Amino acid sequence: MIRRPLLLAAMLAITAILWLLNRAPESEENTATANTLSAPQPGFAATDAVLIQTGDDGKPLYTLHATHINQPQTGEPIEVTDPDFTDQVDADNRWSVQALRGQLPPAADHVELYGNVNARGDRAGIAPLLLHTEQLGFDMPTQVINTSDPVTAEWGNAHLNSLGLQANLRTHDIILQANVHGHIAP
């Protein structure tokens, strides 16, 4: 009779050991999968890069040239060095903007440009609009640019300085925000 409880205890011990041995690899596998899913996902980096956003018709809307583009991890802001940004608003309206560096959110629908920012708006039949500032935000869906920094604007005979500016790229409407000074040559 002592053999029966001993045999039963041995069988339970063997069953428990087998269960633990079979369970351990599965647990490690699940842990590895969970760690992979929660670990930061790698981003991307490119040199001498060109990013092109096309419209529904397949024609380029925005083109960004940069000596370096970097997104360390998926979901983080995209950093650009020496951005040269072109926006073909329509057939007769084109903007180009250059800066020392820039940053785009992961959705890439807005760009912040920094350092020696120069913008040029060319529209058929009128003089180009030239802007210079140290920081410029560009909202691509609305095609509005803005800055709260000092800005110089040259448009034909007009040379204006202002603290802050907002401009609609579609219409070339400009709002100079504060401390506006300038002259218009005859």
3: phi then psi, degrees, rounded to nearest 5: -65, -40
Q: What pLDDT sits at residue 85?
A: 87
Q: What pLDDT sits at residue 35?
A: 54
Angle at 115 between CA 110 and CA 118, to 5 degrees: 75
15 to each of 11, 25, 26, 29, how far by Cα in Å? 6, 17, 17, 22
CA distance 127 to 40: 49
What are the sequence ranges of the domains in the chain? 1-39, 42-184
Encoding tokens for residue 185?
């040559």
Q: Please give the residue that has the higher pLDDT: either 123 or 82.
A: 82
Is residue 114 pLDDT above 80, yes or no?
yes
Distance between the two ends of the chain, CA-based, in angstroms?
Answer: 120
Q: What pLDDT sits at residue 137?
A: 93
Residue pair 36/42 in contact (Cβ under 8 Å)? The answer is no
pLDDT tens, 54-101?
878 888 878 889 999 998 888 888 899 999 988 877 778 888 999 999
Of 131, 120, 63, 60, residue with least CA distance to 91: 60
Domain at 42-184, CATH from 3.30.230.70, 2.60.450.10, 2.60.40.1230, 3.40.50.300: 2.60.450.10
125's CB contacts (< 8 A; 6+ apart) are 92
CA distance 136 to 88: 18
